[in-house]
Structure 1
Amino acid sequence: MTSTTSVTHEQIESLSKEIEAHSNPFRELIAEVGNTIVGQEVLIHRMLVGLLANGHLLIEGVPGLAKTTAVACLAKGIQTDFQRLQFTPDLLPADLIGTLIYRPQDQEFVVQKGPIFSNIILADEINRAPAKVQSALLEAMQERQVTIGSHTYPLDEPFLVMATQNPVEQEGTYPLPEAQMDRFMLKVVVNYPNRDQELEILERMSTTNPQIATKAVTSPAEILGARKLVDRIYVDRKVQEYIVDLVIATREPKAYGLALEEFIQYGASPRATINLTLAAKANAFLHGRGHVLPADVKEIALDVLRHRVILTYEAEAEEKTSEDIVRTIMDAVPVP
């Protein structure tokens, strides 16, 4: 269901009722993960958006903010396979995707599949691995398949990569190139909890053996079914134009009355337009609606665009961040 087809109010209402019923397990999943993770509501919500929109997440935050625990809780709540990969400078592509092993007794090579063959992958500190390993992971993310020797193996669906990186420590790291950053649907910045949340963390987790007590509330099959509903969610022409305006404003800010040309080296690509639309649809799904509101777009736009706007040296000299630029654009582009 798209805006180019003639969609009646009754059809949208019918779809909304269907989505309301099917989105309940996902709202339960958010609550279930929230029972273990304190104060990371945005991260938990964005993980569900990525899962429903078939997109990957780049999670940035200092150590100790429960990024790994949040991903582990999500996997438990879905009752699916989960692999945590610690990226290090000596990691090889074969350590990730697998390799061919020779068996002398059979005089033949057999495939030894790597940990990438899982539903949910946590790529911990992705910027610690060299470019070859990063490329192997990003190829799997984009193509949803892995080539070992002369054979290509499809990855199981749903397949979701959540990569973390530490913004503080830069020594011994290999920063992701801009073209590879663009493969991530969302970049989520995880911040410190507030005082009340910190007290709750203290009460809940200050034991010698803290437990992850997340129970399974949905399944991979339900996720794949939910994605079909996400595809049917209606996006009005005016909302589509709003999405396109937000993206084009990162390339041509002058056309929107913004004096930002000297700060932007490259704007967001058409992939950003597609990802913003899908993420807004997933957001509408989680709210139990069969249509996208401008508020769905605005809520998710910063996470879709912040890693796609490449700044100039002038912006860095004036200590402007891509987040500042995106916020300025979002304030300036009129909401329908």
Structure 2
Amino acid sequence: MAAHAELVCIPEDRLAAELPHADALLVWEFGTDALPGAWPERGGPRWVHTASAGVDRLMFPALRDSEAILTNSRGVFEQPIAEYVAGQIIALAKDFAGTYDRQREHVWRHRVTQRVWGTRAVVLGGGPIGRAVVRTLRALGIETDLVGRTRREGDPEVGTVHAFDELDGLLARADWVVCAAPLTEQTQDLFDAATFARMKRGARFVNVGRGPMVVEKDLLAALEEGQLGGAALDVFREEPLPADNPLWDAPNLLVSPHMSADTDTWLDDLAEVFADNFTRWRAGRPLRNVVDKELGYVPVADAPQAAAEEGPR
């Protein structure tokens, strides 16, 4: 890329000085909160790419209202996250945590666990991550419903995509509830005491979306009261999760440090997505993974095959 552009790698404290002169910006450190305060009043990048799937940190007014094209790294994280979800469901069903505890205590205690085949799951998030989760869970014999923004019949990959307003009715039948949706005004604080109360008693909850979608004190109460039979969280309202946060000691809760998508090849994979889009950008071709800044995510075409090469909208 250096043969075609001047590449400048900058820390957060130089953002404000450099951004007015940039044509494009790669947000490699996608957890940064420095961008809103550094965005220039005039000029600035015409294209912003983030090395993440979620773009909620970039949905500040100045960028959202600008003419800059925003793209994300869709295509890198879907299958690893789906594997993480499947792994956590199996771990909860088979009580792996209890097995590890008894091994450390040198205690031989036989017990029965749950079969996942024939159970039912609801996955919130109709994008590529949610679809990968559905494919993987169905391969385990779990009957899985996908919930997106709007209802679609005859989807070539998942069949019926349920509308967001159908979620409450689906929760009551689900053994597993998986949150894989982006953070928007509609999903902020979605999983609260009322939502957990609508779930089947003893259901398990997995969140690979965003931490602010869950009211954590309500989740803690649902676990302590037995309304939830267990949960696995990979994302939290505050990260890193403080050592004194009561979630660390919540019953039947598996905590992981925002790592569900991170594999041994992920940095190379992220670089390849950006490099491909850079080639397209130089040639004036449609970019991949263009975010609809009003929606806050990349729209998914009706056909998954078309979504893979979706250009600007």
TM-score w.r.t. structure 2 length? 0.29
Larger helix fraction of residues = 1
Greater RCO, CA 8 A, separation 6+:
1
TM-score w.r.t. structure 1 length? 0.27
